[in-house]
Amino acid sequence: MRVISGTARGRSLKAVPGQGTRPTTDKVKEAIFSMIGPYFDGGIVLDLFAGTGGLGIEALSRGMEKAIFTDIDKKSIDVIRDNVRTAGFAEQAEIYRNDAGKALKVLAKRGVQLDLVFLDPPYRLKLLRELVETMLEEQLLSEHAVIVMEHDAEDKHEMPIGRFTPVRRAEYGDTAVTIYKNSGPETE
């Protein structure tokens, strides 16, 4: 696992020990960033269910100003801290050990506005729609926010969620990626 492009290109990232984490492969990571735009001009990224932190770190390397990493697993948090330091982004990272729902509530209380969100929960958890609805209710998503969902290829995410509609979907074996963007007024 490595940072693919940007200022930290080529830096190796550690994996979380054990079988509990499924890191995004370099192939899928490259595909995600080619779908959402390869580089950014600032903004805040949330890497929820961060695992190794690879997606958030890649976004920082490609120009995001700040990344918020959240995971409930202590081993993941330790690996994220290491990986953020290795990539040179310690000053631009906030790392929290918390349940996803609670993390969103804390961010809402702080008035955080997210420009890019990576949602990659364990596939068995089927929480994606609920998490986006919570982000909308809590007004966490900026007007131009992009949501990247990584999920089981068998799961279809074809319906709008509030004002966000799916604009791209790609499959990579048993993994699928669905990109949601703001489509304007609420559509439910």
Q: What is the pLDDT of residue 21?
A: 67
Residue ranges covered by each domain of the chain: 26-151+163-182
Q: What is the pLDDT of residue 186?
A: 57
Q: What is the pLDDT of residue 19?
A: 64
Q: What is the pLDDT of residue 188?
A: 46
Report the phi/psi class of residue 81: left, alpha or beta, with left for phi > 0 and alpha for psi in -120 to 50. alpha
Nearest CA-CA partner of 167 in 29, 28, 37: 37
Q: CATH number of 26-151+163-182: 3.90.1150.10, 3.30.70.2190, 3.40.50.150, 3.40.710.10?
A: 3.40.50.150
User: For residues 12 and 86, is the Cβ–Cβ distance under 8 A?
Assistant: yes
Distance CA 140, CA 46 (A): 10
Distance CA 108, CA 135 (A): 8
pLDDT tens digits in sequence order for the chain, 188 residues long: 899 999 999 999 999 887 666 677 888 899 999 999 888 999 999 999 999 999 999 999 999 999 999 999 999 999 999 999 999 999 999 999 999 999 999 999 999 999 999 999 887 888 899 999 999 999 999 999 999 999 999 998 889 999 999 999 999 998 999 999 998 765 44
Q: What is the pLDDT of residue 23?
A: 73
Provide the CA 60 distance to its chain's centre, in angstroms: 12
